[in-house]
Amino acid sequence: MTRRLVVGRLLALDQAGTLETVHVRIAAAAASVAPRTVWRWLAIARESGRAEPARRLSFTVTDELWACLSDLGGNVKALHDWMREHPHEALPSPTANTLPSLTTLYRAVQQEQRAGRVLEISRPAHARRDPDRYDRALAELALPGTACETGRITLPPPAAPCRPLPSKPRPRP
């Protein structure tokens, strides 16, 4: 049973003046929650006038922020610092007047990446290597199975098939 259904029915009983503790206990059992939870739901619904709680607004990374994150090399902390320095450019809408925390920003970026969004980093990372340099080093080594002196790929000689070792009886102590 959903929260909206339970709270809606209990609010109707409350407005009619017939709400009793037994109603809350039965509703809690039907919703598989504790009676205290149902009382809390009712208190929230009485204050807000709605059977369902208001959804929290979540921070989302806009296309402009994503492009800025790409320009910063994927550094979320640097993006957060930039957002603190440029609040009018960074905030997605005029109604969102608070800067998200660093943790919230990390979660939003991770959520975007889990959804399949890819950072197009404009500056290469320090650990990246030139593929031509790697190929050259591989050719210079000329290890078996990599490349010969002429640059052609060579395969190692086939290994002999494995034979099982003859089993010897173990001496008993």
Res 46: pLDDT: 87
3-state secondary structure of 14: helix
Burial class (CB in 10 A: 0-12, 13-18, 19+), 172: exposed
Residue 169's CB is within 10 A of a number of other CB atoms, namely 5
Q: Residue 13: which of 29, 26, 31 has the closest Cα?
A: 26
Res 103: pLDDT: 92
Mean pLDDT in order along the chain per 10 residues (173 residues)? 83 89 90 91 85 71 87 90 82 66 91 83 58 69 60 55 61 69
Res 154: pLDDT: 53
Res 77: pLDDT: 94
